[in-house]
Amino acid sequence: MNLEYFFSLFLGGMTRGSIYALIALGYTMVYGIIKLINFAHGEIYMIGAFTALIIGGALSLTSMNPVAIFIIAAIVAIVYSAAYGYTIEKIAYKPLRNAPRLSALISAIGVSIFLQNYVLLSQTSDFLPFPNLLPEFGFLKPVENFLSTTQFLILLSTAVVMILLTILIKFTKMGKAMRATAQDQQMAQLVGINVNRVISMTFIIGSATAALGGVLITTHIGQINFYIGFIAGIKAFVAAVLGGIGSIPGAVLGSFVLGLTESFGTGYISSDYEDAFAFIILILILIFKPSGLLGRKENEKV
Amino acid sequence: MSEVPILEVNDLSMVFGGLRAVDSVSLKINKGEIVALIGPNGAGKTTFFNCVTGVYVPTHGEIKINPPEGKTAILNGLKPNTINEKGLARTFQNIRLFSSMTVLENVMIGRHQCLKSGILSSILRTPKQRKEELKVLEDSYRILEKIGLEEYANDLACNLPYGGQRRLEIARAMATDPFLLLLDEPAAGMNPQETNDLVVLIQRLRKEDNISILLIEHDMSLVMTLSERIYVVDYGKMIAMGSPLEIKNNSQVIKAYLGEDIDA
Amino acid sequence: MINLKKIRKAILTAVWFMFLTFPLMVMKVNTIENTVQWRWINLAYIGISAFIFSLFWEDLLKRRDNIASKDKKKSINNKISRKLENKKIRNISLFVLILIVVLFPFIMSMYQTSIITTALMYVVLGLGLNIVVGFGGLLHLGYAAFYAVGAYTYGLLYYHFGLSFWLCLPLGALFSALFGIILGFPILRLRGDYLAIVTLAFGEITKLVLENWNDFSFGPSGIANIPRPMFFGIKLKLAEVTNFTYFIAIGLTILTIIVIKRLESSKIGRAWEAMREDEIACQSMGIDITKAKLTAFSMGAVWAGIMGVLFAAKTTFINPASFTTWESIVILCVVVIGGMGSIPGVIVGALIFILTPEYLRAFSEYRMLIFGLALVIMMIFRPGGIIPKIRKTHQFKVKEVKE
């Protein structure tokens, strides 16, 4: 077995997994709190990528330092995606909180269609290349065969986001409020938690991480169009369910399992079935663990 | 009493993780009896019901039935629907009606087992299937009449008043033609008038339909008036069994309900 | 109605939306030619529309909540359904309907007839999925796979053995139902959204297999030159065959409605609904939930299979691109928009859902944008669908007891 090939597949899988994780977090957090499959979440990721491209593209026409441009573009993209997430929740989901769950799902699908076409019409249907803003990191030189700068950046930022998120959820007041709301919305309200704020916050955080994913993948792959959100959204959703939807560590684990399966599957078996590996592993895991890897088994009280 | 009990539970245990929710409980019910299972909250009564009706698979023990008509059978490991088919029907403590269906439809679902027509005859609407459907309607309506809910037949189950929902649970269970009815806190949330009506209803059901009844209940006056025998469980263990009078004066039972320190 | 506070809020909303849409609506960057285009006028459009939108939004929401809490008997649906109970009105409207249906292809253009045929196919697909989602409460996101099974049944059986459309119609239904059962088995234990994602996965895998297994399905290039339906062995001209396909679609739609209506009011239909309401109670009432789930999947799949065959015959060309997850989502939208569990709802839902984008072609590029928006607004103001299910009631006279 070629060890170097194995490593490059492994790191490729981890990179994929990181991106999935950044998107899946939003899915799982929203699901945990309002039990909604937020179909438009992939679109938020796409909007993040596009905003970064627009800002980065515009600024790169000036004589600014490319790294500074990248950072500004990333921050603006994250802020904008968060704002989109917040606004969408207020308009399209909040009025449906007491409606049948499927209605909210269809509303989310509507938002998804709307956002895709909004970007298509306001921008373009073509693939746009992302300006190359990042220099190659010197210290990665010895391993550049299987770990590129952007890959390194993706792994690093995912790790940082995970740590920050864990701290937020475990140790802050907002995190406690989120956990309480996820368990029982009515009860949370009774003990004085502002549920509306918690839900808004969840959308903001989830959208921000998705946008970060969008920015990073754009720099990694190098080009985007208005349609990248759909398939990424579905994959991230698969990852979230794989890990046990509603569980944050589950989403991360599921994303890495998914990323590695895809990477090794395409590398060792066949690249034709790239997407199929994700779904096959999903089905296999759910058959044996019906509530995902880390999902809590729902013990219904009879 | 050389009679063969219609339900015989031997040494039943149910363990969840480290918790022995039901700990070697044995229980017998004879034909035509009304037996109560009482105990403080969390004593394992509902878990016992869930084991008997197949919602949980018991960790240990044996559940045996000797139906008045039909063969002796062991219920361990059977699915709830098979157990229901064998003649055990139950109600739920936290009402589980089919809430967006009508009251009548709820009862009609109870008749499911009694219908023989398959998918094809339903699609073709064969004369036999139509006759059967008509009969289900009529039977279900009769059951509603018996339970006293016929005026609500076309209302949604979730729109029934609370007491009505409890009665509908009983009607739905009765529609499956059981020989043993398991009632899980049938009087919970009822006012005294409704509870009195319920006592009359349960006694009537036993007499007219030849069934036996096992009930879990916290309303002691109901338990004492209705039941011939009472089993008491606490912390999953059976602590006493006897006639209502015996149970009333059993020191262990009093201790379980009132605590150690209080001198009853 | 409009006060100062509201105007202030509307201005704030307008500013917020102007901020929100700024990079995407105002800036247009071409990263190939390195140009930036600034479209300031868009900002004004956004501001004005957000302002107006904000003025009415909350009132509309309040009105919706008021209507919801009022007596539902006054709703239009009930009025219509009560009118239809009158035999005379019912017969007349039925007659008019039949007249329109029969004359339609002769009055309208071939293009129109073809669109209506497509819409009718979605009526059947919607009704089929409604069995799984509406009756059984099983969220199914891979329904297009069954549709594909039907289409490929005809495509492949024609290609290899020259089997005719009419023979393939029942075969498509059969294979699709079998496929439904095969899919059903592994996922019996799954619930709710886990079930949804696994059905989605099955749908995607089916598509991927069709795309990549070239020896079997001819890959992405698909199967071409599939014959259109023949009329008692006679090959028809294009205009005639379009009308003929339309009548086949009408016939199949009627068949579907009758069969599903009958299933709904039978033992199995009640079991499906009970399963949707409460699985544990359902089992405790003696219903075998495994059987109920598998029958729901297979009975739902049958219609997709039949429509797949019709689809192949109508378009004469099939490839995997027609059976994506997106297609499954479209069919799900038909069901939810129409009204889950409601047969008339699903029919109206399909007609609106499929015809609206067609007739929105005038707005060509904006139609999907409007469509997405319409979905959201529709769900907010009618979350139960266009025609929510009305439960069947039974009248009983106080009968004399026979015994």
pLDDT in tens, C69-102: 665 545 566 666 666 677 888 888 888 888 888 8
Superfamily, domain B7-99+176-258: P-loop containing nucleotide triphosphate hydrolases (3.40.50.300)
Closest by CA to B83, choosing from C188, C280, A300, is C280
| Interface residue C374 vs chain A (CB under 8 A) | yes
Chain A residue with Cα closest to B92: A302
Query: Per-residue DSSP letters for A48-103?
Result: HHHHHHHHHHHHTTTT--HHHHHHHHHHHHHHHHHHHHHHHIIIIIGGGTTS-HHH
Residue C370 covered by a domain: yes
User: How many structural domains does chain C have?
Assistant: 2
Residue A221, chain C, CB below 8 Å: the answer is no
Same domain, C129 and C57: no
Are residue C49 and residue C142 in the same domain, yes or no?
A: no
Rounded CA-CA distance B144/B146 in Å is 5
Q: Please give the structure tokens belonging to residue A301.
A: 């009280």
- The answer to whether residue C75 is domain-embedded is no
**pLDDT 10s digits, B162-207:** 999 999 999 999 999 999 999 999 998 889 999 999 999 999 999 9
Calculate how close chain C gets to B191, using CA atoms only, in Å: 25
Query: Hey, which chains touch B, using 3+ CB pairs under 8 Å?
Result: A, C
Distance of CA A159 to the CA centre of its chain: 14
Residues of A in contact with C204 (CB under 8 A): 234, 275-276, 279
- Which amino acid, C33? E
Test the C interface: residue of A105, A119, A247 with most C CBs within 10 Å: A105
Is residue C214 in a domain?
Answer: yes
**Quick one: tokens of B126?**
């064969």
Assembly ipTM: 0.90
Distance, CA of B115 to CA of B101 (rounded, Å): 19
Measured over the CA atoms of residue C113, residue C118, residue C120 and residue C121, the dihedral's sign is: positive
pLDDT value at position B1?
Answer: 47
Confidence of residue A138 (pLDDT cuts 50, 70, 90): confident
Q: Nearest-CA distance from A100 to chain B in Å? A: 12
Residue C36: domain span: 4-70
CB B26 within 8 A of CB B52: no
Q: What is the pLDDT of residues B49-63, one digit of tens each?
A: 999 999 999 999 999
Residues in C touching B140 (Cβ below 8 Å): none
Note whether residue C248 is domain-resident. yes
Using an 8 Å CB-CB cutoff, list chain B residues near C273.
Answer: 98, 101, 105
Is pLDDT above 60 for A265? yes
Query: A112 contacts in C (CB within 8 Å)?
Result: 372
Q: Treating both helix axes as pointing N-terminal to C-terminal, what angle do C238-264 and C343-359 enclose, rounded to 10 degrees?
A: 150
**Identity of the residue numbered A138:** G
pLDDT digits (tens, 9 = 90+) for A88-117: 999 999 999 888 888 888 899 899 999 999
Average pLDDT, chain A: 88
C66 lies in the same domain as C112: no
In a domain, C238, yes or no: yes
Q: Tell the residue number behind the tokens 């960790």, with chain if given.
A: B59
By the 10 Å C-beta count (0-12 exposed, 13-18 middle, 19+ buried), B249 is classed as: exposed
Say yes or no: A102 contacts chain B, CB-CB below 8 A.
no
Please indicate, yes or no, if residue C295 is contained in any of the structural domains.
yes
Contact B92 A302 (CB under 8 A): yes
* B133 neighbourhood in chain C, CB within 8 Å: 265-266
Which residues from C are below 8 Å from B145, CB to CB? none
pLDDT tens readout for residues C116-158: 999 999 999 999 999 999 999 998 989 999 999 999 999 999 9
Chain C residue with CA closest to B98: the answer is C277
Check pLDDT > 70 for residue C366: yes
Preferred mutation among C256, C282, C284, C399 to probe B, highest tally of B CBs within 10 A: C284
Residues of A in contact with B42 (CB under 8 A): none
A57 neighbourhood in chain C, CB within 8 Å: 29-31, 34, 36
Chain C residue closest in CA terms to B120 = C263
What is the percent of chain A with per-residue pLDDT over 70, rounded to a whole number?
97
Number of neighbouring beta carbons within 10 Å of residue C322? 19
Q: Is A225 on the interface with C (CB under 8 A)?
A: no
d(C-alpha B212, C-alpha B7), whole Å: 10
Chain A residues 91-110 within an 8 A CB cutoff of chain C:
91-92, 95-96, 99-100, 102-107, 109-110
Both structure tokens of B122: 């339903």
What are phi and psi for residue B102, nearest 5 degrees? -75, 165
List the domain boundaries for chain B: 7-99+176-258
Min Cα–Cα distance to chain C from B234, Å: 26
Mean per-residue pLDDT, C249-277: 93
Q: In whole angstroms, what is the distance from residue A91 CA to residue A103 CA? A: 14
- pLDDT tens for residues C370-400? 888 888 988 898 888 888 888 878 777 655 4
A 258-277: CB under 8 A from C: 272-273, 275-276
**Bridge partners, residue B36, by sequence:** B215, B230
Instruction: Tell me which residue of A132, A133, A155, A128 sits closest to A143, measured CA to CA.
Output: A155
Q: Judge if C16 and C156 occupy the same domain.
A: no
